[in-house]
Structure 1
């Protein structure tokens, strides 16, 4: 009698096995996050996939702007040889694709060159690089992301403004309904689908709330390892889009999709523990430590230089420029103060943390988390002192964030400390892509210009 041979499918997570039930696994998606944070990769029949198998993609996928244009990089030799990069499946990320008709698995892959060197320009590797600096010092960052996004009516004409969707009452969503349970219930079918998809993937949700915009939702994730949480944000953004489409609406992670509605952020709560799991931001008596204050000081000093990773598009800066829309435009810090870019939430000493409120939801989660943690790390190793705590509302500050992508890129290009920790090769590529996107945008003629200047100027 033949003995049952062990298969890699037997080791898949319980959530996937429960989702698959008695069905046969039909397809596997080997995917990677690109510079934007969207998934790219290869889909194949399950019998073609193995965790030990080698898969390839051309490196040129990292040379594209968000609009799909390829960019010539002056300092990259043999750019257009279309060299292959190697995909290494990280089976710890294996999860279901619950919106697929057949039982389908998706797996995030790490990227290497053919000689086995981690690809420095891959966003997941950029985050791993930053985490390695922490590990060298015996530290482990802990993060908890908050995801804000809008549900909208399907927008098929880019020249038409984006509108809130119709809820269960048949009326458009009304703004300024923050924390309203009625507003959450208005889009209950979409949220139920998100929950169902998340459960099938083994993704945990902490809370769901209605944010301040019309059709704006916030999903908070649990705190955990930065790489794992970045993977979860990557999966959640795809999940939310698919759940919305199933219910006949769009989900958008554009930072400022509607003129008179608030923008959408991805706030990150950050703390650091030692090898024994103790929060190094708090002393034994519960008081603040130098590490805590230096993490804030580094954030204040260096976050200004990494804004293109936190606010990557021209639209991102509309979130900062809109008055009365609750997005901080500064890097001051305060205790339970939502007008500061760096907020210290009320907590017990073992949960002391720094909330970065500057990041937009349109970011690549791997790059934004890497950049934010890099700034805090530089502050701790350089013992950077923070500015005095903000005791009152902060609407004007000497450290106002850049107001446009062009100036933000200038600061990014000039900061050598940031480039060293994120990786010079990555920074060079990212800057080139963002400059190209900015140049492309500057050539565009907007509906506002046609409306007000065509016959009036």
Structure 2
């Protein structure tokens, strides 16, 4: 077993929740002997971009600069054509990145005492950067606030543990656990299968606690060495921050045990895909009560309109919920993933599920997003669907009481089809921002062109000598 970086007892109590200012951050880091700080900003893919600097330098100038191009970079490290997207004069000008001290936390796997803080992106004149994922989510939340509403979300993130794979031409395989054997058959909800990686999960829990990440439950999912971790419900921006940090935490902990953790939507053929389910409810700012339930505990018109908004607009935001070519391999009729926008009470075959709950906890689970998606954008897009449904007073279909897999596809089947639907939705552009839609679409189209340069094993297998 690889040598693990243990979390000291004093470091576990590393809650960042009380930090609100530069002076408080300085005291927080001094108390923990922090010498370095990672200044992060999530890009369109949810990758942490930024700079690492000595703590002393950070406190002398906590504002960071990065070029605008950081929000145009594809997952392969390339860039789309800027023409028509931004003014050519400012295409690669520096942005102002300001720390959100509420996100300050430890980096428990670092060799030296290190902290991390997530930044927000602004133009030099003080305007939020419209294409920055964190700012997109903030804008959607402001629309809710203007109506006197406050969304509450709870993400569920699925991922696979796999053997290290340094050659992309070879398929991924489940890792060897403490028994010395990999999983062969599927072990849904198996405690023993989770126990195979006890040491790894101990580190994940310790690292999460050190960062203030609140894990609710850990289960073994349907696939071989496929796991799911659920986070506690809360404010959407805070939960998006947690998912952003949590993905890196799992990958770092796995690497210490010579295992890869992957959030690919469909990493292994003939195994289920990995999802990021989003549970959503909305409370009244004035009363603090769930607007999906009335005083008698019955569902409200807002509840059904929230569902209807997803039914109408989920196809328009599929390129956010399923952002890569691989994502659409998960969305097939013979998989556990949804293929349409039907809804039902406790119906896991539908794209929208209403879990059993008390009236106070009435919520809608969006089961469409894949775990490879950017958490800020997924939550923003899903809440945007519900917002439009309520504002437009849409009416949901009747709840489905049968298997939704037998019904027709109602979602885009591929990335280019999804991007086209995204570009054609004026309503969604009004909510998420026209500039963001143009920028995000250009990046996705550029990523598709990169994919088209690769010849797959299927093509060599069936076309090489047969056509």
TM (norm. structure 1) is 0.94
Deviation (angstroms), 1:402:
1.1
Q: For this pair of structures, how many residues does the alignment match?
A: 446
Q: Once structures 1 and 2 are overlaid, which stretch shifts more, 390-399 or 203-212?
A: 390-399
Q: 2:310 aligns to what?
A: 299
Deviation (angstroms), 1:351:
0.1
Q: 1:444 aligns to what?
A: 454
Query: Retained in 1: the 8 A contact 2:72–2:80?
Result: yes
Q: Give the unaligned 5+ runs of structure 1.
A: 1-6
Q: Once structures 1 and 2 are overlaid, which stretch shifts more, 432-441 or 369-378?
A: 432-441
Q: Once structures 1 and 2 are overlaid, which stretch shifts more, 386-395 or 152-161?
A: 386-395
TM (norm. structure 2) is 0.92
1:175–1:354 Cα change, 3 Å = farther
Query: Retained in 2: the 8 A contact 1:51–1:89?
Result: no
Deviation (angstroms), 1:179:
0.7
For 2:462 and 2:407, locate their aligned partners in 1 and report how far apart those are by CA, in whole Å. Answer: 33
For 2:60 and 2:239, locate their aligned partners in 1 and report how far apart those are by CA, in whole Å. Answer: 22
Q: 1:272 aligns to what?
A: 282
State whether structure 2 residue 96 is matched by structure 1 residue 67.
Answer: no
Q: 1:347 aligns to what?
A: 357
State whether structure 2 residue 238 is matched by structure 1 residue 228.
Answer: yes
State whether structure 2 residue 210 is matched by structure 1 residue 197.
Answer: no
For 2:339 and 2:408, locate their aligned partners in 1 and report how far apart those are by CA, in whole Å. Answer: 10
Query: Retained in 2: the 8 A contact 1:143–1:268?
Result: yes
Q: 2:55 aligns to what?
A: 46
Deviations 1:144-169 (A, max 9, x none): 00010000000100000011100111
Deviation (angstroms), 1:174:
3.2
Runs of 4+ in 1 over 4 A off after TM superposition: 7-10
Q: Give the unaligned 5+ runs of structure 2.
A: 1-19
Query: Retained in 2: the 8 A contact 1:51–1:91?
Result: no
Q: 1:185 aligns to what?
A: 195
Q: Of residues 292, 301, 320 in structure 2, which corresponds to 1:281?
A: 292
Query: Retained in 1: the 8 A contact 2:105–2:212?
Result: yes
Deviations 1:185-230 (A, max 9, x none): 0111111110010011111100000000111010000000000000
Query: Retained in 2: the 8 A contact 1:34–1:62?
Result: yes
Q: Once structures 1 and 2 are overlaid, which stretch shifts more, 115-124 or 435-444?
A: 435-444
**What does residue range 331-410 of structure 1 map to in structure 2 within 5 Å?**
331-398=341-408, 400-410=410-420
Query: Retained in 2: the 8 A contact 1:8–1:51?
Result: no
Query: Retained in 1: the 8 A contact 2:265–2:326?
Result: yes
**What does residue range 1-400 of structure 1 map to in structure 2 within 5 Å?**
11-12=24-25, 24-50=33-59, 53-75=62-84, 76-78=86-88, 81-275=91-285, 276-321=287-332, 323=334, 325-398=335-408, 400=410
For 2:161 and 2:254, locate their aligned partners in 1 and report how far apart those are by CA, in whole Å. Answer: 7
Q: 1:3 aligns to what?
A: none
Deviation (angstroms), 1:8:
6.5
For 1:271 and 1:8, locate their aligned partners in 2 and report how far apart those are by CA, in whole Å. Answer: 30
Deviation (angstroms), 1:63:
1.8
For 2:245 and 2:303, locate their aligned partners in 1 and report how far apart those are by CA, in whole Å. Answer: 31
Deviation (angstroms), 1:52:
6.3
For 2:226 and 2:192, locate their aligned partners in 1 and report how far apart those are by CA, in whole Å. Answer: 13
Deviations 1:68-122 (A, max 9, x none): 1121133122167520000100000000111101110100000000011000000
Deviation (angstroms), 1:287:
0.3
Query: Retained in 2: the 8 A contact 1:89–1:110?
Result: yes
For 2:21 and 2:349, locate their aligned partners in 1 and report how far apart those are by CA, in whole Å. Answer: 50
Query: Retained in 1: the 8 A contact 2:82–2:91?
Result: no
Over aligned residue pairs, what C-alpha RMSD do you find? 1.8
